Amino acid sequence: MFDVDWMGLLTREVLRERGAALIAESCAWAVGLSDRPHYRRRSGRVAPSGLTVGERAANGQPLGGAEDGRVDLEDARPGSFPDALNMIGPDGRLEAERFDDEVLVPFVAETCRVAGERARTTRRADWAELAHDLGEDPADVADVVRAGGWEAPLRIDAEHLVLAALRDVPLIEAEAEGLPLSLVRAAEAATRAAAPAPAPVPDDSLAGALFLARAALEESGCTVPVRPADADLLLAALGDAGLEPDEVSSVLPHLPVEEQTITRIAATLAQR
């Protein structure tokens, strides 16, 4: 009896549904390519051609080269999005490889996850049987998807989808289309970078010292988070609570204390 890879079919179905989003992400990725220096290989070495990518595209000059390019992209229209994929960067790496890593891989991984979540909800029995065959917990979609190996073939489908949609689209037009989403992605990245790092999880052995430290902080009268100006006051309160210097150093990262305050207390302890 013929065994249909229903999950593989489902991943392709979800990819088609998310096709517009993939094209949008591809255009957003292309933003800024026109402003970069164009590189080509001369006598085996990568060197600037003397023009920007956008200038070469505007002049109708090909961006990719036969020496480094991919066979399936050799016929790309000069100055088009696929032609840009076929060019090399300053490190000699093909832009198509960077596009694969930065766009296709994460997009396909998310597509497979979405398909897995749908299968777990709409085809519970089939999903449970599939997970069992793969030796994975059906509740862990990520592990089932990873074990199933659907990402690699789906990445090929995703690339074909992009190249078909942007086959003859000039790079400058793809960049213009992707600019709004590119700005959103840049804002998201800035927000993530500005977010404070999560507080470290305290070790179980610190439970007693941490209990005393929190009680001492509440009774110290310090403003929370504790500012550097109150470092000595906090240190005195922790000492009065019976904490040893090494315990103070261990519990401080788990208290609402500014980084500069921790630095000042550490300096004071080092002088003792």
pLDDT of amino acid 197: 57
- Structure confidence by residue, pLDDT tens digits, 36-93: 999 998 878 899 999 999 999 999 999 998 777 888 898 899 999 999 999 999 999 9
- pTM for the predicted model, two decimal places: 0.70
Segment 146-187, tens digit of pLDDT? 999 999 999 999 999 999 999 999 999 999 999 999 999 888
At residue 207, the pLDDT reads 83
Q: Is 207 helix (H, G, I), strand (E, B) or coil?
A: helix
Within 13 Å, how many C-alpha atoms sit on residue 79's CB side?
Answer: 12
Q: In this prediction, what percent of the chain has a pLDDT beyond 70?
A: 95
φ/ψ of 46, rounded to 5, equals -85, 130
Which residues does residue 226 pair with via DSSP β-bridges, in sequence order? 257
Q: What number of other Cβ atoms are within 10 A of residue 7's Cβ?
A: 21
Q: Peptide bond preceding 225: is omega within 30 degrees of 0, i.e. cis?
A: yes
Query: How far is residue 1's CA from residue 8's CA, in Å, rounded to a whole number?
Result: 18
Predicted confidence (pLDDT) per residue in 112-137, tens digit: 999 999 999 999 999 999 999 999 99
Q: Which of 135, 158, 154, 140 is nearest to 21 (CA)?
A: 158
Bridge partners, 42 (sequence order): 45
Please give the Cα distance from 52 to 79 (Å, whole number): 12
Q: What is the pLDDT of residues 201-238, one digit of tens each?
A: 666 678 888 889 999 998 888 888 899 889 999 999 99
Whether the pLDDT of residue 4 is over 70: the answer is no
Domain boundaries along the sequence of the chain? 1-194, 204-267
Of 46, 58, 61, 59, whose CA–CA distance to 95 is shortest? 46
Residue 21 near residue 158, CB atoms below 8 Å? no
Q: Check residue 1 and give its pLDDT.
A: 35
CA nearest to 63, candidates 36, 40, 46? 40
CA distance 41 to 95: 14
User: In this structure, what DSSP letter does residue 74 have?
Assistant: T
Closest C-alpha among 22, 7, 24, 25 to residue 157 = 22
Torsion of CA 106, 110, 112, 117, to 10 degrees: 160
174 contact partners, CB below 8 Å, separation of at least 6: 26, 27, 30, 81, 166
Residue ranges of the alpha helices (H) in the chain?
A: 6-17, 19-30, 53-58, 81-85, 95-99, 105-122, 124-134, 141-148, 151-165, 171-194, 207-220, 231-240, 245-251, 259-270
Residue 83: exposed, middle, or buried by beta-carbon count in 10 A (0-12, 13-18, 19+)? Answer: buried
